[in-house]
């Protein structure tokens, strides 16, 4: 399509003018999505047994992390994303046996523009042994499905065997933020194992606003269990896909950009007065996202990343699985603006992050509620779970090793109380405050503010106990305080 966007707009305004003046003359309708002007004649995919051996991800249009590179103006984008099996750390102490595009989860973000040609190739390298790692899951078939393409799935999205390479190309016809993912059955398991990413297609003339910062935020769920074969990675337990949980849509973690509370540890930088543009994709595979940023309002929301689908002044944007949005907002004043899935059950599983526009560099550990995981982490799966739960449910009132808050510092709690006492307390603090002298004394010490019942079940209580014992067994200084809230 050679006609420039400028010409389009002039012609469009002209056409409107004619319409209002009631002129009967036939004017050609100018649809920016006119199929006659789209490239819908793709060439067949090529399959070969040539094995690519270099980098797992290649192409100048790729961004590897949350910060997005500007658009590469070249109209043809050559992209390689090989598939690998590798161990990724999805939460502190949780090393998960993942499947990847480009050797990372999520895969690298591709950035292009309407009219660009994508020349894609992918070698299935799931049979390669990763350096320093003897174990990974068995090699298997994989494929690539680009939501940004209009092509025959049976041709382009074919599953390829380990060692094989598939190449295909397509032209980008619509602007948007599009998911890509592995389409090999069970698709659910391939996505839940980490095979996804985002392809950003800018409008031909660019976006109507000018942003100071651009970041990609990809929400996804992980469904994990400790390896039934008890395998270890660097002395820590390996976690594998929990096939039952994934079918029942009961995630263990819901995260942004592949890491539990990851963007709390690595906030997205911004400054007061700036306009921030987030490209938000909800991968799922099975949950919706109610994406919200605490402390500001979305000036613009472009559903699925297309400025033709514009909403103004939104608080939250609801994204089904594989839906996306570009959200833009202003940073009104210095502060840390909290990105959450406002389905708070998802946020408490790790879907939380920060846009950091604080003037003094306050450490993220100072943030209440926001779950600073310690550097030392337990190995034992129950203690790991206890630690993560503690960081999402108890930090509002407790620290561990960071001093007293509304409730006591829980460092040393297994030394001053018996397990039996602690279990009873966690199960029913209100009952203990009636019957137990030690509990009554503690209440007085804590300004007669009773701890609300946390509705914990027996396994959860055991996990907290395991975590407290792990903490108390650390040599001094080895385990960092969980939230040293001043």
Q: Which of residues 50-109 bind Cu ion (CB under 5 A)?
A: none
Q: Which of residues 287-316 bind ligand HEC (CB under 6 A)?
A: none
Contact with ligand HEC (CB under 6 A): which of 286, 309, 454, 474? 454
- List the single partner that 413 binds among Cu ion, ligand HEC, none, CB under 5 to 8 Å by kind: ligand HEC
Question: If binding is defined by CB under 6 A, does position 187 make contact with ligand HEC?
Answer: no
Reading the block at residue 460, the tokens are 């959860």
Binding mask 133-152 for Cu ion (x = CB under 5 A): ---------x----------
- Decide whether 116 or 145 has the Cβ nearer to Cu ion: 145
Question: If binding is defined by CB under 6 A, does position 450 make contact with ligand HEC?
Answer: yes
Q: How far is the CB of 100 from Cu ion (least distance, A)?
A: 9
Q: Which of residues 419-448 bind ligand HEC (CB under 6 A)?
A: 422, 425-426, 429, 442-443, 446
The crossing angle, in degrees rounded to 10, of helices 458-473 and 419-427 is 140
Dihedrals phi, psi of 352, to nearest 5 degrees: -150, 145
Contact with Cu ion (CB under 5 A): which of 172, 182, 351, 352? 182
Site of tokens 């995630």: 251
Question: In terms of Cα–Cα distance, which of 42, 120, 125, 122 is closest to 79?
Answer: 120
- Decide whether 365 or 426 has the Cβ nearer to ligand HEC: 426
Question: If binding is defined by CB under 6 A, does position 471 make contact with ligand HEC?
Answer: no
d(CA 240, CA 95): 8
Q: How far is the CB of 144 from Cu ion (least distance, A)?
A: 9
Q: Which of residues 96-125 bind ligand HEC (CB under 6 A)?
A: none
Q: Which stretch binds Cu ion (CB under 5 A): 51-59, 191-199, 312-320, 400-408?
A: 191-199
Q: Which stretch binds Cu ion (CB under 5 A): 72-80, 189-197, 326-334, 470-478?
A: 189-197
- Decide whether 277 or 393 has the Cβ nearer to ligand HEC: 393
The C-alpha torsion from 470 through 475 and 476 to 481, rounded to 10°, is -30
- List the single partner that 321 binds among ligand HEC, Cu ion, none, CB under 5 to 8 Å by kind: none
- List the single partner that 195 binds among ligand HEC, Cu ion, none, CB under 5 to 8 Å by kind: Cu ion
Q: Which of residues 388-417 bind ligand HEC (CB under 6 A)?
A: 393-394, 396-398, 406-408, 410, 413, 417
- List the single partner that 397 binds among ligand HEC, Cu ion, none, CB under 5 to 8 Å by kind: ligand HEC
Question: In terms of Cα–Cα distance, which of 352, 407, 383, 366 is closest to 479?
Answer: 383
* Number of residues this chain uses to bind ligand HEC (CB under 6 A): 25
- List the single partner that 393 binds among Cu ion, ligand HEC, none, CB under 5 to 8 Å by kind: ligand HEC
Contact with ligand HEC (CB under 6 A): which of 73, 313, 452, 475? 452
Q: Which stretch binds Cu ion (CB under 5 A): 69-77, 175-183, 234-242, 377-385?
A: 175-183
Contact with Cu ion (CB under 5 A): which of 100, 184, 252, 349? 184
**What value does the CA radius of gyration of the chain take, rounded to a whole number of Å?**
26
Q: Which residues bind Cu ion (CB under 5 A)?
A: 142, 182, 184, 190, 195
Q: Which residues bind ligand HEC (CB under 6 A)?
A: 393-394, 396-398, 406-408, 410, 413, 417, 422, 425-426, 429, 442-443, 446, 449-452, 454, 456, 464
């Amino acid at each position: 399509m050679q006609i420039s966007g400028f010409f389009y707009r002039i012609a469009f305004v002209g056409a409107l003018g004619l319409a209002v003046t009631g002129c009967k003359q036939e004017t050609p309708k100018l649809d920016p999505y006119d199929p006659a002007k789209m490239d819908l004649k793709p060439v067949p995919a090529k399959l070969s047994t040539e094995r690519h051996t270099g980098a797992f991800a290649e192409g100048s249009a790729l961004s590897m992390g949350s910060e997005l590179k500007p658009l590469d103006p070249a109209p043809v984008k050559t992209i390689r994303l090989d598939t690998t099996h590798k161990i990724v750390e999805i939460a502190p102490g949780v090393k998960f046996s993942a499947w990847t595009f480009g050797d990372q989860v999520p895969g690298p973000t591709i950035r292009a523009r309407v009219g660009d040609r994508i020349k894609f190739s992918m070698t299935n390298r799931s049979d390669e042994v990763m350096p320093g790692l003897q174990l990974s899951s068995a090699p298997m078939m994989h494929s690539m499905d680009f939501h940004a393409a209009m092509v025959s799935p049976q041709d382009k999205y074919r599953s390829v065997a380990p060692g094989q390479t598939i190449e295909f190309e397509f032209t980008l016809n619509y602007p948007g933020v599009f998911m890509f993912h592995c389409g090999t059955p069970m698709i659910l398991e391939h996505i839940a194992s980490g095979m996804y990413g985002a392809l950003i297609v800018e409008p031909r003339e660019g976006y109507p606003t000018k942003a100071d910062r651009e970041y990609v935020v990809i929400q996804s769920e992980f469904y994990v269990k400790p390896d039934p074969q008890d395998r270890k990675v660097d002395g820590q337990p390996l976690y594998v896909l929990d096939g039952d949980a994934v079918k029942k849509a009961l995630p263990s973690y819901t995260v942004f950009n592949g890491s539990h509370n990851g963007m709390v540890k690595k906030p997205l930088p911004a400054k007061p007065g700036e306009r921030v543009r987030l490209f938000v994709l909800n991968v799922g595979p099975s949950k919706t996202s109610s994406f919200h940023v605490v402390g500001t309002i979305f000036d613009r929301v472009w559903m699925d990343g297309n400025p033709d689908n514009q909403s103004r002044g939104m608080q939250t944007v609801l994204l089904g699985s594989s839906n996306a949005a570009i959200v833009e907002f202003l940073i009104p004043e210095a502060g840390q603006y909290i990105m959450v899935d406002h389905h708070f059950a998802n946020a408490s599983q790790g879907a939380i992050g920060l846009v950091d526009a604080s003037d003094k560099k306050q450490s993220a550990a100072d943030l209440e509620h926001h779950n600073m995981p310690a550097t030392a982490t337990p190995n034992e799966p129950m203690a790991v779970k206890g630690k993560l739960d503690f960081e999402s449910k108890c930090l509002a009132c407790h620290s561990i090793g960071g001093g007293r808050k509304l409730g006591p510092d829980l460092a040393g709690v297994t030394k001053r109380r018996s397990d039996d006492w602690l279990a009873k307390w966690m199960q029913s603090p209100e009952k203990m405050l009636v019957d137990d002298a030690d509990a009554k004394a503690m209440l007085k010490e804590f300004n007669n503010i009773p701890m609300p019942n946390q509705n914990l079940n027996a396994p959860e209580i055991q996990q907290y106990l395991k975590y407290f014992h792990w903490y108390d067994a650390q040599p001094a200084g080895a385990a960092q305080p969980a939230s040293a809230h001043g």
